């Protein structure tokens, strides 16, 4: 990745994006212009919970429907392949252990959904401790998988366009 760049992570991807930024920082590479996180507790709140451990496929489908508020994400997660991927993601979250380190210096922007049962508004506010730079916390209506909902994903695209690392069209305008 060539600077400038931003990182965006949702759910488990938020912790992954944070860890990538920290690894690059530790290796002397430039930090992202900003770290965008959504639908994820901050890293220190991952404590090895066994989310959905032992649930059969029907119960896991019901749980994803609860997370999504019945959006199309719950339909997408109904195939055996999707359930296997979800179980693998949940295992990574269960096994993740945060290592205390100095905060990033780049801005962190956190998106919280009003009805997200996985990462509450209060928990998402904890991302402020992961930056020595500016912290922005945006609360939008929706459930955990709000990025799949056009009316709320527009908020994220708008925020991303505010950075110089945003993709450009041939005429120089932000996409």
Task: Give me the catalytic one of 10, 38, 74, 144.
Answer: 144
Side by side, which strands form the sheet with 34-38?
Answer: 6-10, 34-38, 108-113, 135-140
Q: Is 62 left (phi over 0), alpha (psi -120 to 50) or beta?
A: alpha
Active site residue 38: no
Task: Give me the catalytic one of 10, 11, 71, 77.
Answer: 11
101: burial class by Cβ within 10 Å (0-12, 13-18, 19+)? exposed
Identify any residues that bridge with 7 across adjacent strands, giving them in sequence order: 35
Active site residue 44: no
Q: Catalytic residue positions?
A: 11, 144
């Amino acid at each position: 990745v060539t600077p400038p760049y931003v990182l965006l992570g949702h759910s488990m991807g938020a912790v992954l994006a944070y860890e990538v930024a920290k690894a690059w920082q530790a290796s002397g590479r430039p930090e992202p212009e900003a770290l965008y996180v959504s639908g994820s507790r901050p890293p220190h709140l991952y404590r090895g919970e066994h989310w959905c451990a032992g649930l059969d496929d029907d119960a896991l489908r019901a749980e994803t429907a609860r997370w999504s508020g019945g959006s199309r994400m719950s339909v997408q997660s109904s195939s055996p392949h999707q359930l296997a991927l979800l179980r693998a993601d949940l295992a990574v979250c269960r096994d993740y252990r945060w290592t205390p380190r100095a905060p990033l210096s780049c801005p962190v922007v956190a998106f919280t959904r009003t009805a997200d049962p996985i990462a509450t508004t209060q928990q998402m506010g904890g991302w402020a401790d992961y930056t020595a730079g500016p912290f922005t916390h945006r609360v939008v209506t929706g459930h955990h998988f709000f990025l799949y909902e056009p009316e709320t994903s527009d908020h994220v695209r708008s925020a991303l366009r505010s950075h110089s690392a945003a993709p450009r069209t041939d005429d120089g305008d932000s996409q």
